[in-house]
């Protein structure tokens, strides 16, 4: 009997996990008192889900928005006894209300996204442009830029694993993957059944990011390099196309199991060694709580 491949996927949060099913999106978070808080909402439908490449662009944007909202929810629940507001935050709330704090949090999220763009898109191009001004690189410009992207990506993942809070996030990430693997294997979702499952999964955000980097290297090798600034602008312009192509590759590798897809999935699975860690039983319980809320009555509804 072939293993069921589900479209259910999730995101690790602060002391919690978000699981997105075909009909319901559930966020489960461990409260400071040990109880699990669960929020359910209808899964937003992508109007472009049938259009290849285009659907990937919109799925990516929707995932960022939903993921950010769930992350803020988990922070409010998990850290309600620990978060101390600064004098500036207190002043903002007194003057402009709670929405002011939410706005500042949103700004922080936007700045984080901009930092990612600078690290993985702008910095490699700027460094390559600087080096090419000293040494003639010719056709190797694109090669050097691509290698720098991969090196920065690797150093970034390796570096953040030393942060204690990030380690816990990656443990929840492991719980998410193990729970999905258990469900796909047709086993009852219990801590005992989930614990021995693999924490690596081909349809993971880490694998997607790696594919985005590889696709961007290929696509941008055809983009002219008239100047460093112009190239940065063109890369930002073509980013939606890169994301759309990467999504189709991820979808293909997730649906098929053969020598070709195993080769395509292998690098992403390797990088998951940094972004997923073995969870404890409490984390698995949170993953179960979220997953049970999103499993549809018919498995055909969540087939990948």
pLDDT, tens only, 131-156: 988 888 877 888 898 889 889 988 98
The span from the CA of 128 to the CA of 143, in Å, is 10
**SS3 for 5?**
coil
pLDDT-based confidence at residue 50 (cuts at 50, 70, 90): confident
- Residue pair 304/5 in contact (Cβ under 8 Å)? The answer is yes
The span from the CA of 26 to the CA of 176, in Å, is 13
- Specify the DSSP class assigned to residue 279: P
pLDDT, averaged across the chain? 86
Do you know the residue count of the chain?
A: 304
The span from the CA of 18 to the CA of 26, in Å, is 6
Minimum mean pLDDT range among 10-14, 63-67, 147-151, 292-296: 63-67
Among residues 216, 214, 212, which one has the least CA distance to residue 231? 216
pLDDT digits (tens, 9 = 90+) for 232-247: 888 889 999 999 999 9
Q: Which two tokens stand for residue 172?
A: 């929840």
Three-state SS string over 38-66 comes to EEEEECCCCCCCCCCCHHHHHHHHHHHHH
pLDDT of 201 above 70: yes
Position 288 scores a pLDDT of 98
Buried/exposed 45-58: b ≥16 CB within 10 Å, e otherwise: ebeeeeeeebbbbb
Position 112 scores a pLDDT of 65
pLDDT of 251 above 80: yes
Name the residue ranges covered by the structural domains of the chain.
9-295
Position 89 scores a pLDDT of 56
**SS3 for 4?**
coil
In DSSP terms, 17 is beta-bridged to 12, 28
The span from the CA of 106 to the CA of 110, in Å, is 6
For residue 85, the Cα-to-chain-centroid distance in whole angstroms is 28
Query: Sheet containing 9-13: which strands, arranged edge to edge?
Result: 9-13, 16-20, 24-30, 36-42
pTM attached to this predicted model: 0.84
pLDDT digits (tens, 9 = 90+) for 96-124: 555 555 565 566 656 666 777 787 788 99
Q: Which two tokens stand for residue 117?
A: 């763009």
Alpha-helical regions (H) of the chain = 54-78, 87-96, 98-117, 123-132, 140-160, 164-184, 191-194, 205-220, 228-255, 259-275, 281-294
In DSSP terms, 39 is beta-bridged to 27
pLDDT digits (tens, 9 = 90+) for 163-197: 888 999 999 999 999 999 999 999 999 999 999 99
């Amino acid at each position: 009997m072939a293993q069921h491949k589900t479209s259910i996927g999730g995101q690790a949060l602060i002391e919690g996990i978000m699981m997105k099913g075909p009909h319901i999106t559930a966020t489960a978070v461990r409260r400071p008192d040990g109880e699990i808080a669960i929020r359910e909402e209808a899964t937003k439908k992508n109007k472009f889900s049938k259009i290849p490449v285009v659907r990937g662009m919109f799925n990516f944007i929707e995932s960022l928005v939903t993921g950010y909202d769930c992350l803020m929810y988990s922070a409010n629940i998990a850290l309600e006894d620990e978060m101390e507001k600064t004098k500036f935050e207190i002043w903002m709330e007194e003057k402009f209300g709670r929405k002011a704090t939410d706005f500042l949090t949103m700004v922080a999220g936007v700045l984080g996204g901009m930092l990612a763009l600078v690290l993985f898109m702008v910095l490699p191009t700027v460094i390559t442009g600087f080096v090419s001004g000293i040494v003639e690189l010719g056709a190797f410009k694109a090669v050097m830029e691509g290698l720098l992207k991969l090196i920065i990506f690797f150093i970034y993942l390796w570096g953040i694993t030393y942060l204690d809070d990030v380690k816990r996030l990656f443990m929840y990430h492991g719980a998410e993957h193990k729970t999905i693997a258990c469900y796909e294997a047709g086993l009852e979702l219990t801590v005992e059944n989930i614990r021995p499952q693999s924490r690596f999964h081909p349809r993971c955000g880490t694998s997607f990011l790696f594919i985005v980097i590889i696709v961007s290297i290929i696509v941008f090798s055809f983009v002219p390099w008239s100047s460093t600034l112009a190239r940065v602008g063109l890369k930002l312009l073509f980013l939606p196309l890169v994301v759309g192509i990467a999504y189709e590759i991820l979808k293909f590798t997730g649906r098929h199991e053969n020598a070709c897809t195993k080769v395509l999935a292998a690098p992403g699975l390797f990088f998951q060694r940094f972004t997923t860690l073995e969870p404890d039983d409490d984390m698995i319980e949170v993953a179960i709580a979220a997953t049970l809320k999103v499993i549809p009555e018919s498995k055909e509804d969540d087939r990948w």
